[in-house]
Amino acid sequence: MDQNAKSALNQMKHEIANELGMDQVKIPVNSGDATSREYGFYGGIVGGEMTKRLVEIGERQLLKTKSN
* Contact predicate 49/17, CB 8 Å: no
First to last CA, the chain: 29
Q: Predicted confidence band at 26 (pLDDT cuts at 50, 70, 90)? A: low
d(CA 34, CA 18): 20
* For residues 39-68, average pLDDT: 87
Sketch the domain layout of the chain as residue ranges: 40-68
Question: In this predicted model, which residue has the larger pLDDT, 54 or 30?
Answer: 54
